[in-house]
Chain A
Amino acid sequence: AQKVTQAQTEISVVEKEDVTLDCVYETRDTTYYLFWYKQPPSGELVFLIRRNSFDEQNEISGRYSWNFQKSTSSFNFTITASQVVDSAVYFCALSEEGGSEKLVFGKGTKLTVNP
């Protein structure tokens, strides 16, 4: 069965601090996809990244970076030099191979960046 665990319910940091959001997943499939989404207070989920199970390269996009480790079934997300605008709920999600776009989401981590 698919499962995504985001153990950190809430994180509070001061602006310019680095912060890492943890994501651990469970799946029996060898082919799967992992995603991160951001949900600002407005409510709309914003796509951040997609990674397939065969690509373990870390990725950096500006202040955002992602660390995918199949050995520990983790797909962690780091924000460097956080800003107030980064305040949001962040969701990690898993999609397995097959003819469906179904996403299984973690419970989310609420990040508050204080000025």
Chain B
Amino acid sequence: KAGVTQTPRYLIKTRGQQVTLSCSPISGHRSVSWYQQTPGQGLQFLFEYFSETQRNKGNFPGRFSGRQFSNSRSEMNVSTLELGDSALYLCASSLGLPRNEQFFGPGTRLTVL
């Protein structure tokens, strides 16, 4: 069974640009969550989608947005990039049943110059 895949794996952007990251969950999983990992703040929850609906959102500015498609694949978008957005962005998928374990992808390393 294929794991969670994330594309691209590495990305370099400049301030002010926007970026879209993609996540394909494990087959059959309906919940996709996104996390930002930085050395200073650690792992922080961005948002979660379940059956194409945003079920929860973390404390991030509106520049961070996401969506989920009918096949459960998810994208997150960051507009007007700032230097502080440089991070590892991790996607996790789960069945979406109460408190199933979440399986994480390898992440997308975003560098903002």
Contacts and interface: CB of A to CB of B under 8 A. Distances in A.
A97 B98 CA distance: 8
Given A43-B88, A43-B107, A45-B90, A103 B102 contact: yes
A45 B104 contact: yes
Interface size class on chain B is 20 to 34
A35 interface: yes
A85 B94 CA distance: 27
A91 interface: yes
B48 A101 contact: yes
Given A43-B88, A45-B90, A101 B96 contact: yes
Q: Taking chain B's interface residues, is the majority helix, strand, or loop, or is none over half, making it mixed?
A: strand
Interface stretch (A18-26, A76-84, A104-112): A104-112
Contact of A95 (B35, B99, B103): B99
A42 B105 CA distance: 11
Contacts of A106: 42
B46 to A, nearest CB: 10
A61 interface: no
Given A95-B99, A101-B50, 16 more contacts: A43-B106, A43-B107, A44-B105, A44-B107, A45-B92, A47-B104, A52-B99, A100-B48, A101-B33, A101-B48, A101-B92, A101-B96, A102-B58, A103-B102, A105-B35, A108-B42
Interface of A: 33, 35, 37, 42-47, 50, 52, 91, 95, 97, 99-108
29 contacts: A33-B99, A35-B101, A37-B104, A43-B107, A44-B104, A44-B105, A44-B107, A45-B104, A46-B104, A50-B99, A50-B101, A91-B43, A95-B99, A99-B55, A99-B56, A101-B31, A101-B33, A101-B48, A101-B50, A101-B96, A101-B99, A101-B100, A101-B102, A102-B45, A102-B58, A103-B45, A103-B102, A105-B35, A107-B42
